[in-house]
Amino acid sequence: MVAAVATADPRGRHPPGRRVEDKNLVFETSPGVEAVASFDQMGIRDELLRGIYAYGFEKPSAIQQRAVVRIIQCRDVIAQAQSGTGKSSMIALYVCQMVDTTSREVQALILSSHKRACCSD
């Protein structure tokens, strides 16, 4: 089990669809969790990597830097961070990484505790 938690100065809700700046976040992680500052260094498949950059993501957010590698390694991860810091995108990224696109079987199930997360981009 790996945990990464970010807390921030309360500055109200972020505008929908905009990523929150990481500079005010304070991180706590399980021992041994390193921040990986580039998508290139995360072991992401080449075609997915190209899609990430084509979508306009240049650099992983702070929570992504700490959680994506462990998720890709199939570790159980608890990642908690402020709204708009890139958690949902991280889950989508992992699903794209692990699915076999030649198969039509269901390969991923995402459970959400609230409707807004299901409808976000």
Ligand X SMILES: Nc1ncnc2c1ncn2[C@@H]1O[C@H](COP(=O)(O)OP(=O)(O)OP(=O)(O)O)[C@@H](O)[C@H]1O
CB of 117 to ligand X, least distance (A): 5
Contacting ligand X within 61-120 (CB under 6 A): 61, 64, 81, 83-89, 117, 120
CB of 104 to ligand X, least distance (A): 27
Binding mask 23-62 for ligand X (x = CB under 6 A): ----------------------------------x--xx-
Q: Which residue has the tokens 């991860």?
A: 77
E strand or H helix that includes residue 115: helix 115-119
Q: Is 121 in the site for ligand X (CB under 6 A)?
A: yes
| DSSP code per residue over 25-71 | -EEEE-TTPPP---GGGGT--HHHHHHHHHHT--S--HHHHHHHHHH
Query: Which residue, 37, 48, 40, is CA-closest to 97?
Result: 48
Q: By the criterion CB under 6 A, which residues form the site for ligand X?
A: 17-19, 57, 60-61, 64, 81, 83-89, 117, 120-121
